[in-house]
Every structure is written in C-alpha cells, then in structure tokens.
Amino acid sequence: MMRTIRVQLGAASHDAHVGANILDELGNLARAAGLKPGSCAIVTDATVEKLYAARVEDALRKSGFAPVVISVPPGEASKSLAMLEQLYDRMTAAGLDRNSVVFALGGGVVGDLAGFAAATFLRGVPIVQVPTTVVAQVDSALGGKTAINHRHAKNLIGAFYQPQLIVADVATLATLPDREFREGLAEVIKYGAIMDAPMIGDLERDLDAILARNPALLEQVVARSLMHKAAVVGADEHESGLRKTLNFGHTVGHAIEASAGYGSYFHGEAVAIGMVAAARLSSKYAGFSADEASRLQRLIERAGLPTAMPSGWYSDDFLRALALDKKRTAGAIEFVLLDRIGHSLTRSLSFDDIMSSVS
Ligand SMILES: NC(=O)c1ccc[n+]([C@@H]2O[C@H](COP(=O)([O-])OP(=O)(O)OC[C@H]3O[C@@H](n4cnc5c(N)ncnc54)[C@H](O)[C@@H]3O)[C@@H](O)[C@H]2O)c1
Ligand SMILES: [Zn+2]
C-alpha cells in the first residue's frame, strides 16, 4: 500500500508518497511525476549508500535513468561549502544537464545539502527527496528549505527550493539506530500537539507498535505528519506567519542545542525538553490544563525522550543562546503555546517567564 499527499504550492505543487518498500518503485514514480529519464545523480551518505543505494540504482535503471552515486561522509559536518563544491565537481564530471534529476537519498543532512546543490547547479535542476530517517520523512523533506552551515551559524546559507517529488519508504526506518528513531518522534508528537488532538490519542494507543517499527503504523504516522506539514507550508511557504507554529518546543530546544554544544543533545531530544517547557508555560499563560500538560509529558517520556535538563543546568550560555534566537523581538520572545491539545497560539514572553518554566 502507498499513501499520497498532494503538497499544494501553486506551480511548485508536488506529491509526497509514503509506503513500505516503495524505494523499488522510485523510477516509475519519478517518471509518473513527469521527470525525464537519462543521466541523474543519487546523492547520499556513506551509511545509507551501503544500505540502499544499489536498490535505488536498480529501480532507476529499470525506468530508463542512468544514475551516478555521489556519496558524502555521514553527519552534520557534510553540510559545508567544501562538500557542496565537491558535489558540483562530481555533477559536472557526470555530465548532468538542466533536465538531470538529483535524488537525495538519506536523512536531513543529505536532503539539505543535495537540495541546495540542486537549487544552484545550472540555476536549478529538479530534486526528488527520498528521506530515510524519521526526521527527514516527517519534517525536512517537505517544505523546500535547503541549506548548508557556516562556521558562524547553522543553515546560514540556503534557499527555498521545492522538490518535484517526495518518496518516503518507511521500511528504510528499520535500520535506523534507536536514538535517531526516537528523536524523530518528537516532531511527530509536535504535529499532534499543535494541530491534531486525535493524533495524540492514536499515538498513545499505538506507541509500542510504532517503537517496534510496525510498517503499517509507520506509514500512517509519517503520512499524517506530512499531511500536517503540507497544510502549514501550503498556507505559508516562506514562513511569514502560520509556519512559525511548527516552532512549538523549538525556542527552548534550539537554545539547549546551542548552549549544550551541538551534538550532545540530538535536535529531537532538545525539542522534547522544549515542548515540556512550552506546555508548562502554556498552563501559565494560555489556559492549557495541567492535566493535558502532564499527558503530553507522559507521551514524550514513553517515546524514550528526555523531558528536562539536569537541575541547575540552565546557565548564562542558555540565556545568551535564547537571546540570539532569531524570533526575538525587543526583550521578549515570540513563543508558540497551546491552549488545548491540538491547538496553538503565539504570545510574547520575557526571558524571566521562560526561565521560570525550565529551571
Ligand atoms: N530543511 C528542513 O526543513 C529541515 C528540518 C529539520 C531538520 N533539518 C536538517 O536535517 C538535519 C538532520 O537530519 P537527520 O536527523 O535525518 O540526520 P542525518 O541526515 O545526519 O541522519 C542521521 C544518521 O542516520 C543515518 N541514516 C540515515 N538513514 C538511515 C537508515 N535508514 N538506516 C540507518 N542509518 C541511517 C545517517 O547516515 C546519519 O548518520 C540537520 O542538518 C537539520 O538542520 C532540515
Ligand atoms: Zn525540529
């Protein structure tokens, strides 16, 4: 079975397919989306290459594509200008032209890097996102944000560039390490918290099977998450308003990541702590019931995610990181809160307000 979500973005509208083992259909799906066969690139990282590149090559060849595999080292460090330059070199050497498709096979690192390369190579060649992590399948593959990092800041250099197609094979999640799998669930819980109350109930019911990576349930959860992200992005492609609600849990989350040193907490783990803090602030400032706040916290705990930093941890570094948050406005921070599960709003909060929720 396969589910298809239509991402409505005017001329940039495209499909997102979700299913188990649809990797083997990639060539057919790309042809059906109107992409031209011929020379193309599979951009991936060394870990994902070993696991899935051969299957993707076969699937593409079967449909008349002639792929070259371009592999980068796994990890955030590959979102660099140096790696981008290597990509351009390899794409040029492979003789790619303006119709040549770039297939981004991997997690968010590969998706962001290959997406930016595709956005800029020959002023833009088509990109197909083939996400293989939970984070990439429920979040980064959809929305058109592409970027590399700069020594001064994450994602400093980038572009909005929509894919022609998204193909999320949930069977690939079977090989994802446990910690990476669980961190992705933070974003899944986020969608339920901000816009889909029944989804929280379903997650409570199905969590054990999801953690066991039951393909049918993964398909359901990924499709539902993508549907929500598609709705938000479709209404606000360039993040002028509504799309900010996707930052639920991220204001505190980003500050934790930055002040703890990138890498010591995974993004999803920091967001999990941030969501618990935001739930507490929601009770204080948005009438969110204490019962619902603890319900959300219990679900986050059951997903194996952290809900708090060690006591006494919050420091000047954390405050500084919070102050640098780009959503800040003259002394206060625009914060996404819940007034009930499944419904969000934004409020301006001060540093003191926020500190009271975390320490
Ligand atoms: N563009 C966006 O809107 C957006 C949104 C969220 C995150 N991001 C970006 O995404 C990146 C994080 O993405 P990520 O969490 O997917 O990390 P990642 O791409 O580094 O993947 C995590 C690890 O899992 C491995 N891996 C990937 N798929 C696998 C599989 N199926 N089986 C086994 N191992 C596998 C990778 O090799 C890597 O080591 C960050 O750079 C972040 O900035 C972008
Ligand atoms: Zn996130």
d(CA 193, CA 251): 16
Count of the separate structural domains present in the chain: 2
Pair 273, 160 in one domain:
no
Residue 98 pLDDT grade (very low, low, confident, very high; cuts 50, 70, 90)? very high
Mean pLDDT of the chain: 94
DSSP letter for each residue of 206-263: HHHHHHTT-HHHHHHHHHHHHHHHHHHHHH-TT-SSGGGGGGTTHHHHHHHHHHH-BT
- Return the best residue to mutate from 7, 44, 47 for the ligand 1 pocket (most ligand atoms within 8 A of CB): 47
Closest ligand to Cα 254:
2
What is the mean predicted confidence (pLDDT) over 56-74?
98
Within 6 Å (CB) of ligand 1, which residues are found? Answer: 45, 47-48, 51, 74-76, 79, 106-110, 112, 132-133, 135-136, 139-140, 143, 145, 155, 172, 175-176, 180
- pLDDT, tens digit, 9 for 90 and up, residues 136-184: 999 999 999 999 999 888 899 999 999 999 999 999 999 999 999 999 9
| pLDDT score of 220 | 98
Query: How many whole angstroms from its chain centre is CA 335?
Result: 20
| pLDDT score of 139 | 98
Pair 191, 165 in one domain:
no
State percent of the chain over pLDDT 70.
97
* Residues 24, 183, 129, 86, CA torsion sign: negative
What is the mean predicted confidence (pLDDT) over 126-144?
98
Q: Which of 90, 224, 254, 280 is catalytic?
A: 254
Pair 241, 144 in one domain:
no
| pLDDT score of 100 | 98
Pair 193, 114 in one domain:
no
Indicate whether 24 pLDDT > 60.
yes
Pair 163, 282 in one domain:
no
Pair 188, 153 in one domain:
no
* H/E element, 40: strand 38-45
Last residue of a domain, one of 116, 147, 175: 175
Angle, helices 197-211/290-302, rounded to nearest 10 degrees:
20
Domain of 213, in residue numbers: 183-358
Last residue of a domain, one of 140, 158, 175: 175
What is the mean predicted confidence (pLDDT) over 37-46?
98
Pair 193, 340 in one domain:
yes
Supply 101's token pair.
């498709």
Pair 210, 141 in one domain:
no
Pair 88, 190 in one domain:
no
Indicate whether 124 pLDDT > 60.
yes
CATH code for the domain of 161 = 3.40.50.1970
Residue of the CA atom closest to atom 7 of ligand 1 = 140
Indicate whether 330 pLDDT > 80.
no
Side-chain half-sphere exposure of 111, counting CA atoms within 13 A = 29
Active site residue 247: yes
CATH code for the domain of 336 = 1.20.1090.10
Q: What is the DSSP letter of 133?
A: S
Residues in the chain: 359
Pair 20, 135 in one domain:
yes
Place of tokens 């930016």: 116
Phi-psi region of 217 (alpha: psi -120 to 50; beta: other; left: phi over 0): alpha
Pair 234, 158 in one domain:
no
Indicate whether 287 pLDDT > 70.
yes
| pLDDT score of 327 | 52
Active site residue 145: yes
Give distance in angstroms: CA of 264 to centre of ligand 2. Answer: 16
Pair 151, 187 in one domain:
no
Last residue of a domain, one of 175, 200, 218: 175
CA angle 265, 318, 142 (to 5 degrees): 50
